[in-house]
């Protein structure tokens, strides 16, 4: 018969205790990772929100050919934000076109609206960054009065990368 020494009996208990501690640490790390992920998703929810309708104003034929509408405080994001344009609506004009520009009506338009209606965009295809805004002008042959309205998704600039993923 072999005798068991007291230190041999203690070893399994120490191993069990060590494994329990390791399991507890791993569980704590997993919980911390889940909480961090939850907080990041909450931050994204607070940082990204749609603004379905922003009335910009109107362009009238009575104002003359090339009349324009450039309102940085209304048609562009505030500091710390980026817009992703989801739609541009121009309605009420009877002929001609409405041209859409970044920041100034000088230069080449980025879009043209050739009849009253709505242009729609995938939510990441038409960004308007801080310091930019949308400007609008009457194109050739414009008649009537165009009411301009846009829809955007507004994103805190620090979350733009996460939004685009």
pLDDT digits (tens, 9 = 90+) for 12-65: 677 777 777 887 777 777 766 666 566 666 666 678 889 999 999 999 886 655
Q: Which CATH architecture has domain 49-164?
A: Sandwich (2.60)
Residue 15, pLDDT score: 78
Residue 5: the pLDDT is 55
Domain ranges of the chain: 49-164
Q: What is the rounded CA–CA span in Å between residue 61 and residue 98? A: 11
- pTM of the shown model: 0.72
Q: How confident is the model at residue 89, as a pLDDT?
A: 96
Instruction: Please tell me the predicted confidence (pLDDT) of residue 3.
Output: 59
pLDDT, the chain, mean: 84
Question: How much is the pLDDT for 7?
Answer: 57
CA-CA distance, 65 to 67, in Å (whole number)? 6
Give phi and psi for 51, each to the nearest 5. Answer: -120, 100
H or E element in which residue 46 lies: helix 6-47
Mean per-residue pLDDT for 119-133?
89
């Amino acid at each position: 018969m072999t005798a068991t020494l007291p230190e041999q009996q203690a070893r399994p208990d120490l191993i069990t205790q060590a494994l329990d501690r390791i399991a507890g640490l791993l569980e704590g790390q997993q919980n911390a990772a889940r909480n961090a992920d939850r907080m990041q998703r909450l931050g994204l929810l607070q940082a990204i929100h749609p603004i379905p309708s922003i009335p910009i104003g109107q362009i009238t034929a009575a104002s003359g050919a090339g009349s324009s509408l450039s309102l940085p405080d209304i048609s562009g994001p505030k500091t710390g934000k980026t817009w992703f344009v989801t739609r541009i609506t121009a309605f009420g004009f009877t002929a001609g076109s409405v041209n859409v520009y970044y920041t100034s009506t000088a230069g080449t338009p980025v879009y043209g609206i050739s009849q009253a209606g709505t242009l729609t965009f995938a939510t990441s295809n038409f960004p308007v960054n801080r310091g930019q805004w949308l400007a609008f002008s009457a194109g050739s042959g414009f008649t009537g009065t165009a009411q301009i309205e846009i829809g955007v998704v507004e994103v805190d600039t620090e979350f733009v990368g996460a939004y685009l993923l």
